[in-house]
Amino acid sequence: MNDLSASSRIAYQATLVQPGVVRRIRGLSDKALAWLFITPTIVLLLAINIFPLVWTIYLSFTNYRANRANVPIKWLGIDWYQSILTDPDIWAAMQVTAHFVIWTVIIETVLGFGLAFLIDKKFRGHGLWTTIILLPMMLSPAVVGNFWTFLYHPQIGLFNYVVAFFTGRDASSFQMLGDVTLSPWAIVIVDAWMWTPYVMLICLAGLRSIPDYIYEAAEVDRASKWRQFWSITLPMALPFIMLAVLFRGIENFKMFDMVNLLTGGGPGSTTEVASITLKRAAFESWRTGYSSAFAIILFVTVFGLANIYVKALNRVKSR
């Protein structure tokens, strides 16, 4: 802070001296100011994100265990990477993650786009109802996920009661969180409940970006509503839908909090998404080197997705 006021004082005093000097000092101070403004952020990110990342890369080549810090560190080369990429348990976790990501994205996109399409009809009170629909996505996934274990309770849960009421089955005859076939769907349902509004909001922006005159022209050409939807609405909203899909894809690939509280990866490992596997290896078995290697593999995967995301983002922006 002192540096900032010092530099401005210098610049201010300079204004009192000579116009020629002023211009030069101001030009200098612009550049100095730019770095002064940006450096603190970069330093923080280097200290809390990049340094740890480099450390993780180093650890991923060693046999280090965080709970046995005194054991001499042995260099293992790429052993962990080889064993992870050939480990059937890891591939099972990746399949669980893929199931979760693909189904949540499909359900959220279909429901979210449908809702946005309906809200775009601007019925009376649509603003209020939109705000109400948006609520779940702002809430803490962990705290809300925890409450869903109550709703999913086979004996006393509201979810089981409602399903039993409509299907005529016995409410305690199925366990959403305890059954190997149902639990992967239990986490999909909660995620869809939370994040459909997210996709809806982005799709709504896409629909509202389509100018009226295009529809007017289509009406003049006597294009049917059906035709208008497939030739105008969907293609023009597509970049927004893609953006929502990529965002949800990345977020759900990293999913931890909600699943950890709903199922903790169980029963067995049927809902063990990649982040849960990572947590179990890093903070329960304390295989730090191994889990570092897995973390790097996950990070590279997400980073690849992020690159695609930024490209899509730029395409949306340039429209």
Partner 1 sequence: MISANTAHSVVEPSPGTRRFAGSLVILYAVITMIPLVWLGLTSFKSPDDAISYPPKVLFEPSLEGYCNLFTTRSRQTPEFIQTLGPAQGLCDSITRDRNMVVAGPSNYVPRFINSLIIAFGSTVLAVALGTLSAYGFSRFRVPLKDDLLFFILSTRMMPPIAVAIPIYLMYRSIGLSDTRLGMILLYTSVNVSLAVWLLKGFIDEIPREYEEAAMIDGYTRFQAFVKVVLPQATTGIAATAIFCLIFAWNEYAFAVLLTSGNAQTAPPFIPIIIGEGGQDWPAVAAGTTLFLVPIVVFTVLLRKHLLRGITFGAVRK
Residues 188-207 contacting partner 1, CB under 8 A: 193, 196-198, 201-202, 204-205
How far is 61 from 133, CA to CA, in rounded Å?
A: 47
229 binds partner 1 (CB under 8 A): no
- Whether omega for the bond prior to residue 267 falls within 30 degrees of 0, making it cis, is yes
Tell me how many residues contact partner 1 (CB under 8 A): 114
Least distance to partner 1 from the beta carbon of 267, Å? 18
Least distance to partner 1 from the beta carbon of 156, Å? 5
Chain centroid, CA 160 distance in Å = 29
x-or-dash pattern for partner 1, window 68-107, by CB under 8 A? Answer: ----------------------------------------
Q: Which of 2, 20, 123, 226 binds partner 1 (CB under 8 A)?
A: 123
Q: Which of 19, 75, 121, 268 binds partner 1 (CB under 8 A)?
A: 121
Only one of the segments 6-14, 80-88, 173-181, 230-238 lies at the binding site for partner 1 (rule: CB under 8 A); that segment is 6-14
Positions in 274-303 near partner 1 (CB under 8 A): 274-275, 278-279, 282-283, 288, 291-292, 295-296, 298-299, 302-303
How far is 173 from 169, CA to CA, in rounded Å?
A: 7
Least distance to partner 1 from the beta carbon of 269, Å? 16
CA distances from 44 to 1, 37, 51, 52, 117 (A): 16, 13, 10, 12, 42
Looking at the DSSP bridge assignments, the partners of residue 62 are 75
x-or-dash pattern for partner 1, window 128-167, by CB under 8 A? Answer: -xxxxxxxxxxxxxxxx-xxx-xx---xxxx--x------
Positions in 42-71 near partner 1 (CB under 8 A): 42, 44-45, 47-53, 55-56, 59, 66
**Who contacts 128 (Cβ-Cβ below 8 Å, separation ≥6)?**
none
Q: Which long-range contacts (CB under 8 A, 24 or more apart) does 303-307 make?
A: 305/246, 305/249, 305/250, 305/253, 306/250
Q: Which of 21, 23, 68, 216 binds partner 1 (CB under 8 A)?
A: 216
Least distance to partner 1 from the beta carbon of 4, Å? 6
How far is 304 from 287, CA to CA, in rounded Å?
A: 26
Burial of 199 (0-12, 13-18, 19+ CB in 10 A): buried
234 binds partner 1 (CB under 8 A): no
